[in-house]
């Protein structure tokens, strides 16, 4: 029998999010610190870097064609988050090790695509943008946090309402009205694998899919060019030695259950290609199931935190959650005047304090009995990450697996994690770090049933 190591968040019978009450059940796995983040709405906080980034991106998708939705509730159903988008029943994203559940049918959205089908159904505008907080159980380091922000966008055309029913002509007319940019896209049309990422031949002609893709690419390139031009302008203004390298962007093939074909847009940054967004031609079943079978279109999703980190040169994702004036004051006034955007000047970095914790999992054969005991079979690293984050909060900078080892005789597995304790705001005392680390160790034993070595 499989046991579960999912940390037992103190499970209240009901919880409240944004003034609504939800019943929990045995699927509930949302820790208090994550639940608390649902009230923050950083994407709407004036002069917050996440909100400024949203404003800059919105400026490239003007109304009334695009309507902005910035206040959708983070609690959605499994139907909205997964089924409506064509996720197969066994998709790993549905696991409790990856997703925060309130109950079996209700979760904290893992992406803004959860609202896509409802907006297609609503038909309020031919395009939309959604900005929102999203939630994923994940590793702990300077670029991952259990809560981050996405902006989702889509644009549709309706065969039933374009002049002469010529949807291809209508899309190219809209494309011709878009601004241009002078960046050379290195791989504008990467080949795609038709077996996994087909043109939707049953629903689209090749010419239709091509027209949608061309409009998608131009629209998203404009957005990315805008961000990187603003980042560069800020850098040049502040640092006369800044090396003004030309912007490099390329399209690569990607896979999503709700678009086909699909692409990611990558930008060359600090010596490497960086994925900034996922996108594609929307799966026709979503339009059909939303009662608008005559529509075709594209959609994309971009991570606002990552973009904000690049734009402002913010070195650690935890900073977004800081209420420290030394952080927030640096962005004052920018929401009202985007031209005053400056790079973040880090305040002094406080010392790191590394501490290791080593523990045994129970061997798989010995599993059973104690349902709390972690065995090698059902061990999930995200559980370790979460227990540590729950105890030590934002004083953990990162957690890394430094050793794992299986005893040749007993078959027992041992893991060693190195935790870096470093506050963003002050120097931690030795005594304080030791106490914290003791609490983390006890929590790993108590919540995961591991045995400390
Ligand atoms: C998605 O979430 C898709 N819903 C995007 C999409 C929408 C595709 C519409 C097609 C059509 P993905 O998991 O790759 O895809 O996340 C999208 C973006 O969110 C990433 O490119 C990245 O910028 C950001 N992101 C993903 N995970 C994290 C994380 N843990 N921390 C910060 N940003 C993240
Ligand atoms: Mg991705």
* pLDDT tens, residue order, the chain (453 aa): 333 445 554 588 999 998 999 999 999 999 999 999 999 999 999 999 999 999 999 999 999 999 999 999 999 999 999 999 999 999 999 999 999 999 999 999 999 999 999 999 999 999 999 999 999 998 888 889 999 999 999 999 999 999 898 999 999 999 999 999 999 899 888 988 988 899 999 999 999 999 999 999 999 999 999 998 999 889 888 887 888 788 899 999 999 999 999 999 999 888 889 899 999 999 999 999 999 999 999 999 999 999 999 999 999 999 999 999 999 999 999 999 999 999 999 887 899 999 999 999 976 554 444 445 566 667 899 999 999 999 999 999 999 999 999 999 988 999 999 999 999 889 999 999 999 999 999 999 999 999 999
pLDDT at 5: 47
Residue ranges and CATH numbers for the domains of the chain are 40-74+109-340 (3.30.930.10), 353-452 (3.30.70.380)
Q: Are 190 and 252 in contact (CB under 8 A)?
A: yes
ipTM: 0.97
Residue 2 Cα to ligand 2 middle (Å): 30
Largest CA distance in the chain: 76
C-alpha span between 369 and 433 (Å, rounded): 35
275 lines ligand 1 (CB under 6 A): yes
C-alpha span between 169 and 176 (Å, rounded): 10
| Residue 94 CB-half CA count within 13 A | 16
Q: What are phi and psi of 92, to 5 degrees?
A: -60, -25
Residue 259 Cα to ligand 1 middle (Å): 14
Q: What's the DSSP call for residue 2? A: -
pLDDT at 378: 79
Residue 116 Cα to ligand 2 middle (Å): 18
267, 281, 60: which is closest to 183 by C-alpha? 267
69, 50, 74: which is closest to 125 by C-alpha? 69
C-alpha span between 384 and 387 (Å, rounded): 5
pLDDT at 269: 83
pLDDT at 241: 83
C-alpha span between 86 and 137 (Å, rounded): 21
pLDDT at 376: 65
Residue 277 Cα to ligand 2 middle (Å): 7
Atom of ligand 1 nearest to the CA of 282: 11
| Residue owning the nearest CA to atom 10 of ligand 1 | 279
pLDDT at 211: 98
């Amino acid at each position: 029998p499989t046991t579960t190591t999912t940390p037992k968040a103190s499970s209240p019978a009901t919880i409240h999010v944004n003034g609504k009450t939800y019943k929990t059940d045995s699927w509930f796995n949302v820790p208090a610190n994550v639940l608390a983040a649902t009230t923050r709405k950083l994407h709407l906080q004036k002069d917050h870097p996440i909100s400024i980034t949203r404003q800059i991106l919105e400026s490239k998708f003007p109304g009334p064609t695009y309507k902005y939705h910035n206040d959708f509730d983070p609690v959605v159903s499994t139907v909205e988050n997964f089924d409506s988008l064509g996720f197969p029943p066994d998709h790993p994203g549905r696991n409790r090790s990856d997703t925060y559940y309130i109950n079996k049918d209700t979760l904290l959205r893992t992406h803004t695509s959860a609202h896509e089908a409802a907006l297609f159904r609503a038909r309020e505008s031919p395009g939309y943008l959604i900005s929102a907080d999203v939630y994923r159980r994940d590793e702990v380091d300077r670029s991952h946090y259990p809560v981050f922000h996405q902006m989702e966008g889509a644009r549709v055309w309706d065969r039933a309402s374009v002049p002469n029913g010529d949807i291809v002509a209508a899309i190219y007319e809209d494309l011709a009205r878009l601004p241009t940019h002078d960046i050379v896209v290195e791989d504008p049309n990467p080949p795609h694998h038709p077996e996994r990422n087909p043109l939707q031949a049953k629903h689209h002609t090749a010419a239709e899919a091509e027209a949608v893709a061309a409009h998608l690419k131009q629209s998203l390139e404009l957005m990315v060019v805008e961000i990187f031009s603003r980042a560069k302008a800020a850098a040049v203004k502040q640092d006369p030695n800044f090396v003004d390298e030309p912007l490099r962007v390329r399209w690569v093939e990607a896979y999503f259950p709700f678009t086909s074909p699909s692409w990611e847009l990558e930008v060359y940054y600090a010596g490497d290609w960086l994925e900034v967004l996922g996108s594609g031609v929307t799966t026709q079943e979503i339009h059909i199931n939303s009662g608008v079978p005559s529509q075709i279109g594209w959609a994309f999703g971009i991570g606002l935190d990552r973009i904000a980190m690049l734009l402002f040169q913010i070195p650690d994702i935890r900073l977004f959650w800081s209420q420290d004036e030394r952080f927030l004051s640096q962005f004052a006034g920018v929401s009202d005047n985007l031209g005053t955007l400056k790079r973040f000047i880090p305040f002094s970095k406080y010392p790191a304090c590394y501490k290791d914790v080593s523990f045994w999992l129970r061997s798989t054969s010995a599993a059973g009995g104690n349902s709390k005991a972690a065995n090698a079979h059902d061990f999930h690293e995200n559980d370790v990450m979460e227990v540590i984050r729950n105890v030590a909060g934002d004083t953990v900078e990162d957690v890394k697996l430094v050793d794992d080892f299986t005893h040749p005789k007993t078959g027992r597995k041992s893991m060693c994690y190195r935790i870096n304790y470093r506050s963003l705001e002050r120097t931690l005392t030795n005594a304080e770090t030791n106490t914290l680390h003791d609490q983390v160790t006890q929590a790993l034993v108590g919540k995961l049933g591991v045995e400390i070595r």
